[in-house]
Amino acid sequence: MSPLPRLDGVIPILATPFNDDESLDLASLDRMIRFFGAMGCDGVTLLGVLGESNRLTDAERTVLIRTAVAAAGKMPVIAGCSHTGTAATIGLCNEAANQGASAVMISPSKQPTPNDEAVFTYYSRITEKITLPIVLQDHPASTEVYMTAPLILRIVREVASIVCVKAEAVPSPPKIAALRAGLPAERNISILTGLGGLYGFFDRERGSDGYNTGFAFPEILIAMVKADIDGAWEIYRRYLPLIVYEQQPGLAIRKEILRRRGLIANARVRHPGATIDPTTAGQLSVLLDRCFPGQDLAAPLTVS
């Protein structure tokens, strides 16, 4: 298994930038990664749900990983490699390794009949055939697979290549607490919060080590990680309307914010996804003005 620093802090999930004709915009991807690195992010993840991975070809995935690795420098690059088939997941993981990824993020594959043993075997077979560390993603909203805390703990104990659990099953705080209590201390496995940071303060109280999510203002999350618990609460409370608004289903709002920040050139969501409509864009403008009066969104924000 490749060496990897402990995955904690703030690791943004990247949107996949497209041109207006829905072709890949690699220049925007490069710019976004360098911007996040300069503000102090601890890594990046691409090809997740936010990255529209289900709308990409295998050839596009390869180009995106290669571009991300070149832009990230010393930051770890985590590539989403989930697939409904075990062999296909292994193939995606090995291609990610070939392109220089630091780790892979894998969520379980839905079966016609819920089966904990099949979920366990899925991870154990994959780890036998790949070289990269694994981030286990627990996101039943997209996978329709609900993994209990005991199942996740069994997988972590018996699959040595798992280095991080991305906890996105609601209610997340009690599940994070159960995982934190049961994870083997000698493995030093991290737990990261997703879901746009929606429950991020409460997850931190119960044992989360940081954020692995697509929120378009990672400097806010960085400030929360660095603050004591009272300071984190004040930051969370101040920006919660923005977190809630951005976390609405779909990618249109988040991509539009990234566009307004100058990080991607176009807010296009690949079909059949919907790009932002004029009324929502107007409401977003009012919200951003309220949250960041007089601030330049194209520069890293000072959050205190």
Name all domains of the chain by residue range, CATH numbers in brackets. 9-291 (3.20.20.70)
Over residues 62-78, the mean pLDDT reads: 97
Gap between the terminal Cα atoms of the chain: 39
For residue 2, pLDDT beyond 70: no
Are the C-beta atoms of 12 and 41 separated by less than 8 Å? yes
Q: Supply the pLDDT for residue 49.
A: 86
Over residues 56-80, the mean pLDDT reads: 97
Over residues 221-247, the mean pLDDT reads: 97
For residue 150, pLDDT beyond 70: yes
pLDDT digits (tens, 9 = 90+) for 266-285: 999 999 999 999 999 999 99
Bridge pairing between strands 134-138 and 162-167? parallel
For residue 191, pLDDT beyond 70: yes
Residue 85: pLDDT band with limits 50, 70, 90: very high
Listed as own residue / partner, the contacts of 199-205 with beta carbons closer than 8 Å and 24 or more positions apart are 199/170, 199/171, 199/172, 199/173, 200/224, 200/236, 200/243, 201/232, 201/233, 201/236, 202/172, 202/173, 203/167, 203/172, 203/173, 203/176, 204/229, 204/232, 205/173, 205/229
Could you say which DSSP state residue 196 is in? G
Q: Supply the pLDDT for residue 113.
A: 83
For residue 131, pLDDT beyond 60: yes
For residue 120, pLDDT beyond 60: yes
Q: Which tokens belong to 63? A: 């180009």
> Can you tell me the distance from the alpha carbon of 290 to that of 128, in angstroms, rounded to the nearest whole number?
51
For residue 4, pLDDT beyond 80: no
Residue 3: pLDDT band with limits 50, 70, 90: low
Angle ∠(76,78,83) on CA atoms, nearest 5? 170
CA 46, 52, 58, 63 torsion-angle sign: negative
Over residues 168-175, the mean pLDDT reads: 97
Over residues 233-258, the mean pLDDT reads: 97
